[in-house]
Amino acid sequence: MAPSPSGPASHPRDAAAPTADLPPLPAELADAVARFGKHLDAQRGHSVHTRRAYLADVTGLLRYAVRHGARGLDDVQLPVLRGWLGAQADRGLARATLARRGAAARAFLRWAHHAGLTETDPSTRLASPKVPRTLPTVLTPDAAACLLDTARDVALAAEGDDRPAALRAWAAAELLYGSGIRVGELVAVDVHDVDVRERLVRVLGKGGKERVVPFGVPAARALTAWIDEGRPELAGAATGPALLVGDRGGRWGQRQAREAVHRLAARAGVDDVAPHALRHSAATHLLQGGSDLRSVQEVLGHANLATTQRYTHVDSDRLRQVYAQAFPRA
């Protein structure tokens, strides 16, 4: 479809076609995507996952634009941006996904304008869908203790081939809750990153930022049992320095860690939770215990204090319940 004299052809909010059905990008646009990728590589704070997502989003935008008549970057104007996001909204994509794709488009077009590839930046007028702020799932301190006690009891009672996996699940659950690290950070930890005597673990967080996080005595016990008894049973030629080892001798994966936590929650009879809920629970319990926001921010590795502040809302809910139950004029 050729563009009209006044710009690219109109584009109704039709469902986006599969990638295989979309036209290839013209050389100019493909080169712009490649240069944008190099720009992201040079920026600190972008994880590999963010870079990959941004490039995929930008490529999707440009393919949509080409399909609707765009021939160059200057043809990617506000109607194209709105049509692209609108088509995805009509497909039922979540607001969070739409917000991320809008952010990718803005970052790309802002960079393109500053790089002199476009005369204007139409994304400055692109509204972003508001993402509802949902409170994270949090276990009560008693429920968290129940889950971890169950992990310990199962591990210590396990025998034979079942024991290494049970020790691994115990160590993983204790470290997730005891340090508040992400599951991706957990499975990336190497043996030399853990100081059991000092009860410290070094992790590489989002954006390649390294931090050292403390953990408690129960986690130290679980890690010692795993390192001394469980890991040697599973380690092999493909293990390398990985702290947590899978059943086949390679580094344990995030999916396996999630499955282990789900199984422990079911065994303990508590609410079904994912590893990230243990991180949320750790943050909330730290605040309930009197820790200040800045310290919790350091533990969690949040770049922005506002991200940490959402845990104060969880704590406020708890205080509201206590108030309603205990105050005579509630």
Q: How far is CA 91 from the centre of its chain?
A: 23
Task: Quote the CA–CA distance of 262 and 247 in Å, as a whole number.
Answer: 18
Task: Quote the CA–CA distance of 285 and 61 in Å, as a whole number.
Answer: 42
Active site residue 152: no
Among the listed residues 182, 231, 280, 285, the single catalytic one is: 182
End-to-end distance of the chain based on CA atoms, in angstroms? 66
Among the listed residues 206, 262, 263, 318, the single catalytic one is: 206
* HSE value, Cβ hemisphere, 13 Å, CA-based, for 299: 25
Active site residue 106: no
Active site residue 323: no
Q: Considering only CA atoms, which of 138, 164, 167, 136 is closest in space to residue 153?
A: 167
Q: Evaluate the CA torsion angle 18, 21, 23, 25 in order and state its sign.
A: positive
Active site residue 311: yes
Among the listed residues 258, 276, 310, 318, the single catalytic one is: 276
Task: Quote the CA–CA distance of 165 and 189 in Å, as a whole number.
Answer: 17
Residue type, 305: L
Task: Quote the CA–CA distance of 92 and 203 in Å, as a whole number.
Answer: 36
Query: Does residue 255 contact residue 138 with C-beta atoms inside 8 Å?
Result: no
Among the listed residues 46, 168, 279, 280, the single catalytic one is: 279
Long-range pairs for 314-323 at CB < 8 Å and ≥24 separation?
314/135, 314/136, 314/138, 314/280, 314/284, 315/284, 315/287, 315/288, 317/135, 318/288
Task: Quote the CA–CA distance of 246 and 220 in Å, as a whole number.
Answer: 20
Long-range pairs for 237-245 at CB < 8 Å and ≥24 separation?
240/190, 241/190, 241/191, 241/192, 242/187, 242/189, 242/190, 242/191, 243/189, 243/190, 243/191, 243/193, 243/194, 244/168, 244/171, 244/172, 244/186, 244/187, 244/189, 245/168
Task: Quote the CA–CA distance of 246 and 208 in Å, as a whole number.
Answer: 24
Residues involved in catalysis: 182, 206, 276, 279, 302, 311
